[in-house]
Amino acid sequence: MTTPAAPDSRQPAAPAPARRGYLAQSNDAHNSVLMVLPLFVVYQIGILLTDGWMNGVDFVTSRLMQAVGGDILWYLGINVVVLLCALVFLKLQASRARFRPSVLVGVLVESTLYAFVMGRLAVLVLLQVGLRPTAGPTVAEDSMGLLDAVVLSIGAGTYEELVFRVGLLWGSYRLWTTFRPPSLLPFVVALVVSSLVFSGIHYAPFGMDDFNLWSFFFRAVLGVMFGLLFWFRGFAVAVYTHAIYDIVILVPRSLGLG
């Protein structure tokens, strides 16, 4: 007499999560935040070594300093913890096949290409509409040291993209779509308005530059480009492109190379 075989208690292994391609991973909002956090921490620590330079829309540093009572060690400790948490989460993302470290390398390469092209493209756009350059570097830019230029460039990439692209562009578009159906018009309006505000914030009384039409519209066109990068390629690509672009512009000036 034979007995039936005991049922197999083993469960089939869950299929491994499919790895997404570079475009999907680099454009993922969660991955973008994790890739940008180390850059944010580098800026937060770097401004302690500058001659008092700080990004104009930096809304964190002064409040964080107040929260720790001006204690530099506590300030550094908080930033180091943020950096370590970002690295741990990146590792977890990689182990879950949601992120490959090589994606960050790709973002750096892609962003560098954009950074070297967009300034020239903005010039061509303005020349086509009849504007001509009327100003050079500001006195403030000429007085920067090398470290100041690098740290401020990183700060511009992180904070300005957060404020103008995430906050103003994406935020105003999302506000519109809360009450009305999504359409192209509110996106275009949000893109233009956020770019104009981004440009205007660089001038007195908010910024350090003296107003002129060429630099205002040049920055506005760059704002449109950053906005399109943010919308179609993600937050991390926009941040790194902005930071690298500013480094390319400001570092030579800090070295007296024009």
Instruction: Evaluate whether residue 6 is within a structural domain.
Output: no
Instruction: Evaluate whether residue 199 is within a structural domain.
Output: yes
Q: Quick one: pLDDT at residue 14? A: 46
Instruction: Evaluate whether residue 95 is within a structural domain.
Output: yes
Instruction: Evaluate whether residue 181 is within a structural domain.
Output: yes
Alpha-carbon distance of 188 to 190, in angstroms, equals 5
> In this structure, are residues 123 and 250 in contact, taking their beta carbons and an 8 Å threshold?
no
- Nearest CA among 3, 26, 254 for reference residue 152: 254
Domain count, the chain: 1
Percentage of the chain exceeding pLDDT 70: 87
Instruction: Evaluate whether residue 15 is within a structural domain.
Output: no
Radius of gyration in angstroms for the set of CA atoms belonging to the chain, rounded to a whole number? 23
> What domain range includes position 98?
22-254
Mean pLDDT of the chain: 86
159-187 pLDDT per residue, tens: 999 999 999 999 999 999 999 888 899 99
3-state class (DSSP) for residue 203: strand
Q: Quick one: pLDDT at residue 136? A: 55
144 alpha carbon, distance to own chain's centre? 22
Comparing 223 with 2, the larger pLDDT belongs to 223
Instruction: Evaluate whether residue 1 is within a structural domain.
Output: no
Instruction: Evaluate whether residue 206 is within a structural domain.
Output: yes
Print burial letters for 23-45: b (CB count within 10 Å at least 16), e (below 16): eebbbbeebbbbbbbebbbbbbe
3-24 pLDDT per residue, tens: 555 445 455 544 444 567 899 9
3-state class (DSSP) for residue 172: helix
Q: Quick one: pLDDT at residue 44? A: 92
Instruction: Evaluate whether residue 3 is within a structural domain.
Output: no
3-state class (DSSP) for residue 209: strand
